[in-house]
Amino acid sequence: MRLPTFYRCHKACLWLALFFCSLTVTANAENTAATLTLNEALARTLAHNPQLYQYRFTKDALEAQRQTSVLRPAMALELEVENVAGSGDTQGFDTAETTVALSSVIEMGGKRQARVSYADARINQAEWEQQAVSLDVLGELTALYIESLATQANMGLAEESLGLSRSLLKTVKTRSKQGATPEAEVMRAQASVARAEIRLAALVEQFERQKVQLARFWGDTTPTLTTLEGSLSEFGGNQGFDQLYARVKTSPALQVLASETRIRDAEVTLARAGARSDLTWRAGITRFEETGDTAFTAGLSIPLFSNNRSSGEVRAALANRNAVDYAREDLLLRVHAQLFEAYSLRKQSIAAATKTQNAVIPALEKALRLTREAYENGRYRYLDLIAAQEELLATKQAYIDAASTALISQALIEKLSSEALNR
C-alpha cells in the first residue's frame, strides 16, 4: 500500500494503515468498490481526511515564522537636516547641517538563538501533534469499522433467526393441521417471524448509517460499499501490561507534552534574553553647508533599568514551564488507567468469546436440534422449542458482543501504544 509522502514519514501512524491483524484484513486487488477492507479505509483517510491534511499548512506557517526568527535586526537609513528655514542667519539652506546615517540594534543575551530555538520547538510539537491526531482519527475509524463489522455479523444472525422462525412456523402449521397444536401457537409463530423481520430491517438501516459515518473519514457523502471485509474471531497476540505501558510513555500523546516542555524552556530562555538590554548604534556623515566641511558622527544608546521591566515575564515563563511537568504526570496517570481498563476488558472479552464459541454455542446448537426433533415427535412443548432457539440466538449475540468489545479494546491499546499487538 502506497501512502502520500506527507504521511509516509510518520511511522507512529502507519501501524494502523499497514495492517490490523486482529481483523484478518488484507488488501485485495480483486476487491470491487462494493467491498471495503480496513486497509483501504485507512489509506483513504490518510489521503483525504481534512483534519489530517490541515497540518500541512500548520507546518508551512511555522516554517515561515522560523525564517523570520532567523533574521537579524534590520538596518535603518536616516536623513536629518538642521538649521534650515529659520530666521536671521538660519534663513534658507546656507547654514544647514545635513546628516546621513545608518542605525540598527545589537541584540544582547542571545535573543536571536532563543527565537530560533522557540520556533524549532513549536515545529517539533506540531509534528508530534500531527501524529497524535492521526492516531486518534485512525483509531476512531478502526473502532467504527469494528462496530460496523459487528452490525454486519448481527445482520447475518438476524437472517438466521428469521430462517429459524419461518421454519418453526412451517412446522407449527403442519402440526396444527394434524390437530397436534392449537391455533394460538400458529399465531405466536407468525408473530415471531414478524419480530425477526423487524430486527433485520433495523440492522440493515443501522448498517447504512454506519457506512455513511465511515465514508466521512475520507470526505465521501455517498458511499458505494455494500459489505465490509474482516473477521471478528481473530484477536492477535498477547503482551504484558508493563510492556505495553512502557511503549505508551513514548507515544505521540506523551511526546506532545515533552515538546511542550521544550517550548516552555525556550520561552524561559527567550524571557531571560529579553531582560538583557539591546544596544542601538548609529553612524553617519554630517555636511555643514556654511563651510562645506563634513564630519563623521556616531552614537550608542543603552536603555536603563530594563531588567526590572522583564522580571515579570521571566517569572511567568518559569511558572508555565513548571506546570507542564505536572500536566505530564496527570496525563500519565490517566493513560495508565485507560490502558489498564482496555487491557483487562480485552483479556476478559477474549476469554468469554473463545469459551462461548468453542463450548457454549456447539452445545446449544445440539440442544436445539434435539429439542426440535422431540417437538416434532410430540415429546416437547412449543415453549421448550422457542426457549432453546432464543437461548442459542442470544448466545451467538453475546459472542458477537464479546468479540467486538475485545477488538475495540485492542484498537484503543494500539492507539495508546502506537504499535500493533500482534507484531
Please tell me the predicted confidence (pLDDT) of residue 421.
57
Please tell me the predicted confidence (pLDDT) of residue 331.
82
Pair type for strands 227-228 and 279-288: unpaired
Please tell me the predicted confidence (pLDDT) of residue 30.
39
Please tell me the predicted confidence (pLDDT) of residue 196.
93
Query: Which of 416, 298, 406 has the alpha carbon at shortest distance from 356?
Result: 406
pLDDT of the chain, 423 residues: tens digit per residue: 233 333 333 444 444 444 333 343 333 333 445 889 998 999 999 888 888 878 888 888 888 888 888 888 888 888 888 877 666 666 666 777 888 888 888 777 777 888 888 888 888 888 888 888 888 899 899 999 999 999 999 999 999 999 999 998 998 888 888 877 788 888 999 999 999 999 999 999 999 999 999 999 998 888 888 899 988 988 877 888 888 888 888 888 778 777 777 777 777 777 777 667 777 888 888 888 777 788 888 888 877 766 666 677 777 878 887 888 888 888 888 888 989 999 999 999 999 999 999 999 999 999 999 998 898 888 888 888 899 999 999 999 999 999 999 999 999 998 888 776 554
Distance CA 344, CA 98 (A): 84
Virtual torsion, Cα 253, 255, 260, 264, nearest 10 deg: 150
- Amino acid identity of residue 394, one-letter, is A
Cell numbers standing for residue 291: 563651510
Please tell me the predicted confidence (pLDDT) of residue 219.
87
Q: What proportions of the chain, in percent to the nearest 5, are helix, strand and coil? A: 70, 10, 20
Give SS3 for 25.
strand
Instruction: State the DSSP code for 20.
Output: B
